Structure 1
């Protein structure tokens, strides 16, 4: 028995030791000795991985009326594309996102869908899938309603019951083949992995015509330089995002102003930070809780002239994940959406357990 224990303890991490014990008769010995100290439960909780998805139905009349009411208020001076209709449009992407999770990421524990008092008509809510309202996670409900994804993302770590390790997805992110937790976290779960773009970089100059994503990226860069001496000009691929709740809480404790100013912006603004999609990963890299990695990935945009060709590529090649980005359309919108639904039904023909029976 001592020989087996020595073999187990040569593993690189506590998590790997537990994995080893679970597969041997030694687990009962380990359990009897340590169960009162909750060691097993604490280790197993590290392996729980939830998914958080932000979603909005921009076609809902009540939501549109509310958005227009605040958009026409005196408090707003819009930056370029901050009130772009493509930010709020939905063509059932969420349904396919959930199908992709069920098909290729069965290890996911809970799925939290964060919305503004909206629930997809086709969605079945159960112990696995929960809908979280903005008012349940914002510290200051006076900031609501918001129509700014940066503001919403700045509060997702406050979801009640959210696991320490979780994956954040927009509703235009999808899995294309089987993924494992180690695609997004190191084997011992001590670090998250992030995926830098080799094509997109933060512009050197930011002006009144700059895009919101670039303004936020520049704010991130300035903060990292001024407060942590960390330099970067990199942007990220559009992939599912691995996060640690404890790291977000630590960063918020050190920089409460970043969360406060971003959460208070109803629409994208010049003061925004893109916390979960960018800033937190560089911060994690700085403190040793995140590392750069690579993942087979594909990007498609609705306004791409080769949209159908690229969708056909997705049918033929099994990337780990892909993004279909919604932007202002210069081509035939209805035709593109028809192509999208037709191809996605080929990719994910089976309804997930999270859909009501038709």
Structure 2
């Protein structure tokens, strides 16, 4: 199948940690495993403060060429589905349950782990060969085109080539020394280490593409072919209910397999405004917003831990998101009236 002839879909992973049923499921899983709640499933990571609605609205508004938006969730349905009912966009946004992407492997459920999820996203029924993965705290800042993600039948990716650090001979020695001298227990599922693991599994030898934090394009056939050839890699990576240092990053592996198959174009023109609401001052975040507003290169934003920020920071970021994206209700109202949103 030619990737050039297929439409482009979007896939968003989402959870509402404030849902009592989901919270009970998480608590029971932690109890069964006899562990404390890891930071990777903290309330600020799992609670929905409206980020998903901004993500979906930004895709509908700024990437109208995307065919279907699939929201992958765990027995949950976001309220925006009701908002879209009986509108022209009703069939363009669909909810996919974890049971669908883990079919044949249901013993791994429940999963509270983005790495397990990104390993299995390609198994969504009806998903196009070309799709873009969004975290639910991502959103688009301005109109983007299909060739910002797929060009000449290839994936357009963003990042920098670098030498292996953690998995180099020297890196392994330093890790062992740290463990011996400081009784260090790593245990931390470093994103960089997860990328390096994916690069090694894909077959990269000395250096790899360190991926930027942005929406990631996928070619479904590349990951499907890889996991068909290496089913144990797939089974191993999905069986962790919580993020583990033993896991590779799913979107990274999809990229590296495509690189080795000559199906990637590297283009760092577009950038992401990555904002951490809980870890930055108001002044710092205002500066980030100003930079993103001034430059056309900033096409993406990621607002992490919105509900963990101070009231002032939350208000600042929500005002910015409203200004740059607008609400779903306003978008639908403008569409129905034939008017362009005032924000444009």
The answer as to whether partners of 2:57 and 2:325 remain within 8 angstroms in 1 is yes
For 1:28, the equivalent position in structure 2 comes to none
- Tell me which of 275, 279, 295 is aligned to 1:300: 275
The answer as to whether partners of 1:164 and 1:244 remain within 8 angstroms in 2 is yes
Change (3 A) 1:283 1:336: same
- Tell me which of 234, 237, 243 is aligned to 1:262: 237
Q: Does 1:281 find its partner at 2:255? A: yes
For 2:158, the equivalent position in structure 1 comes to 195
Q: 1:173 and 1:334 mapped to 2: Cα distance?
A: 21
> Which string of whole-angstrom CA distances, capped at 9 and with x for unpartnered residues, describes residues 280-322 of structure 1?
2112111212232223213222222211332243344333522
Query: Which one is further off, 344-353 or 51-60?
Result: 344-353
Task: Look up the SS of the partner of 1:294 in the other structure.
Answer: coil
Q: Does 1:93 find its partner at 2:51? A: yes
Task: Look up the SS of the partner of 2:246 in the other structure.
Answer: coil
Q: Does 1:131 find its partner at 2:95? A: yes
- Tell me which of 332, 338, 343 is aligned to 2:320: 343
Larger Rg: 1
**TM-score under structure 1 length normalisation:** 0.77
**TM-score under structure 2 length normalisation:** 0.79
- 5+ residue gaps, structure 2: 176-184, 337-344
The answer as to whether partners of 1:230 and 1:286 remain within 8 angstroms in 2 is no
> Which string of whole-angstrom CA distances, capped at 9 and with x for unpartnered residues, describes residues 160-201 of structure 1?
1111111111112222222111111123x2x11211158998
Task: Look up the SS of the partner of 1:216 in the other structure.
Answer: helix
For 1:141, the equivalent position in structure 2 comes to 106
For 1:21, the equivalent position in structure 2 comes to none
Q: 1:44 and 1:219 mapped to 2: Cα distance?
A: 27
Q: 1:354 and 1:240 mapped to 2: Cα distance?
A: 27
Paired residues, number: 307
Change (3 A) 1:202 1:171: farther
Change (3 A) 1:199 1:87: farther
- 5+ residue gaps, structure 1: 1-41
Q: 1:174 and 1:143 mapped to 2: Cα distance?
A: 30
Q: 2:164 and 2:276 mapped to 1: Cα distance?
A: 19
What is the Cα-based RMSD across aligned positions, in Å? 2.9
The answer as to whether partners of 1:312 and 1:343 remain within 8 angstroms in 2 is no
